[in-house]
Structure 1
């Protein structure tokens, strides 16, 4: 059995990103005295969604990436999928840092593109990882 180094490295980067996003939510709450919910603060709403979206996707991805790396998926494929996922998550987090990226304002189309790339790379990584794993097992 191989040690899942690629998955461990990917998980380390993702948990650091998750911690940064968590700190940004917490400091915004403290600075604006909002204990629960969003207090109708759109900037806080964006920060919460940015943090939550990563949490919704990263854990499952790292678990399945680990299984793929330890079983039948070639390491080069695992590495490529991990890079695509990481880049997508970073672009998505950057996009949700702006009103344009989160609410589609007329300015800042690059942030809307970052959000789309982030979403598609996450989806594509999930499908590719699941597909390679299934194909290798059967």
Structure 2
């Protein structure tokens, strides 16, 4: 059995990002005086979704990536998919750091593009990882 080193690197980068997003969300909570939920604060909503979206996607991805890496999926494929996923998740987090990226406000088409890259990149990585794992297990 192979030790999933690539998955460990991906997981390390993603957990650091998760921690940063958690702290930024918590700091905004304190600053805005919001104990639970979003209040009427769209910035709080954006920060919660930025943090939550990563949490919803990263854990499952890293778990399946590690399984794929420990089986017969080539390391080169694992590296490509892991790198693409990490880039996609950072892109998505950056996009949701702005009103343009989260709500389509004027003046930030680059952030809208970053969100598209993040969302579709995540989906493509999920499908690629699931597909290559199934293909190699057959």
Q: Same fold (TM over 0.5)?
A: yes
Deviations 1:113-134 (A, max 9, x none): 0000000110000000000000
Q: Distance in 1 between matches of 2:105 and 2:17?
A: 26
Q: Distance in 2 between matches of 1:7 and 1:100?
A: 32
Note the C-alpha offset of 1:107. Answer: 1.5
Unaligned 5+ segments in structure 1 are none
Deviations 1:73-121 (A, max 9, x none): 1000000000000000001000000000000112110000000000011
- Counting only pairs closer than 5 Å after superposition, residues 48-127 of structure 1 correspond to structure 2 as 48-127=48-127
Partner of residue 14, structure 1: 14
Partner of residue 47, structure 1: 47
Unaligned 5+ segments in structure 2 are none
Q: Secondary structure at the match of 1:130?
A: helix
Q: Distance in 1 between matches of 2:77 and 2:131?
A: 12
RMSD: 0.5
TM-score normalised to structure 2 length: 0.99
Q: Secondary structure at the match of 2:11?
A: helix
Q: Distance in 2 between matches of 1:90 and 1:5?
A: 20
Deviations 1:45-79 (A, max 9, x none): 00000000000000000000001100021000000
